[in-house]
Amino acid sequence: MMKDNNTTYRIFENIHDVDISEQDILDYDPEVLDKLLIDHTMSAKARTEANDPTKVVNIFWATSDYEDAIKNEDGEVVTEGYRYDDEIKPENITGLFRRIVMPRVLKDKQAQIDRTKDKAEVFTPSWVCNAQNNLIDEAWFGRKDVFNREIVNEDGTHSWIPTEGKIVFPEGDSKKTWKKYVVDNRMEITCGEAPYLVSRYDTTTGEPIPIGRRIGLLDRKMRVINENVETEKEWYAMAEKAIKHTYGYEWQGDNLLLAREALLYTYIEYFMEKFNEKDEEGHYIKDANGNLRVPERRKIVNAARWISWNLWQMDGIKMVVPDSCDKVYKTNLWGEKEKMVCPACQKGEMKGHIGIQCIIRDWNLKKPKDWQPKPGEDPHTQPWQKIKFSSLLNNNQTETEDDEI
């Protein structure tokens, strides 16, 4: 049974925590965690093969970090569910195992070194993310220091000072309005925990970053929304557009989950920041019933679904599901399965890989007049919006509808 929408859940009490708790999400609503774990590319494949639109496949670990590191309550090593190729299931990351997935900065130093060696995992300081994101906005706005001014402190450390007041948009340019800014596409490649998209904390120091100082690409869109809307209805509509026009991909499943969670919590945080009053110490003021204003439950579930589409698991060089080129087989004349060799992998080429092509979603694609559902497709999920990521590089896009803003 769906629980009521009060704010006594830990997901809201702990909304600013650096280490997001999957248990908090599960306790609030299991559907939210299910959405954050789904792999839409592999789910589509499973549905087609089984001709069953209910089939669901989750993202997989794509790292061996957890294979011999997880122990049960008896101190025994748990391997099942934590191998490289295993899907990440809710039961793997909640209950007794609620704290096994955590941001890189909170992992021990040896684990950080090992991940750097294995997958070249190196996270960028927030001041560098900010400087590079500022270059994007400088090009879009035609001026510098739109959201903040970069500074170097006396001790040589880098930082920034947020601009005061509302963000000013170019006058007389219908293509440069605040609404156009919100729907301008942004993507972070090989996103890790998505520090370029959302900046809830500095990924190299672990220090939380207050909303007023955040510098991510989605943060900037959300700031603009909070400065320009008045009602919850307006906020929901524009926040949806902001998420649907913000993308990223990542190889390792644990990083991808952290990134998806960070975007979802950012969505909730900006709503709470907009619609709650604060006391002198900056804490949100609860109503007479002890509640805060938080997003509606259905809105949070939907946000998790949009995010799971826009942040996906992919080998960014090959544009396929990680390692999927090594798992393609054919049947020979004797009915035996033979492993196929990927010619693109052999040649080190970017195109032509035989692995599973990653599917993403263009939320503005029009429904073709001659569209017919394929096996396993549910027409209510707008399958015509689902495209291969590789098609973007080949400019094989279908006609899209502009956002009506």
Domains of the chain by residue range: 10-119, 126-313, 324-393
CA dihedral for 224, 227, 230, 236, sign (positive or negative): positive
pLDDT tens digits for range 166-187: 999 999 899 999 999 999 999 9
Position 399 scores a pLDDT of 43
Higher per-residue confidence, 104 vs 264: 264
List phi, psi (to 5°) of 162. Answer: -60, 145
297-336 per-position pLDDT tens digit: 999 999 999 999 999 999 999 999 999 999 998 888 888 8
Instruction: Tell me phi and psi for residue 3, to 5 degrees.
Output: -75, 160
Over 90: is that where the pLDDT of 74 sits?
A: no
Q: Give the per-residue pLDDT at 44.
A: 92
The pLDDT value recorded for residue 204 is 81
Q: Give, for 118, the enclosing helix (H) or strand (E).
A: helix 109-119
pLDDT band at 7 (very low <50, low <70, confident <90, very high): low
pLDDT tens digits for range 276-299: 999 998 889 988 888 899 999 999
Q: Which long-range contacts (CB under 8 A, 24 or more apart) does 371-375 make?
A: 374/48, 375/47, 375/48, 375/51
Quote the pLDDT of residue 395: 55
- Asked whether 88 and 159 are in contact (CB, 8 A), the reply is no
DSSP state for residue 111 in the 8-state scheme: H
Given a contact cutoff of 8 angstroms between Cβ atoms, the answer to whether 301 and 32 are in contact is: yes
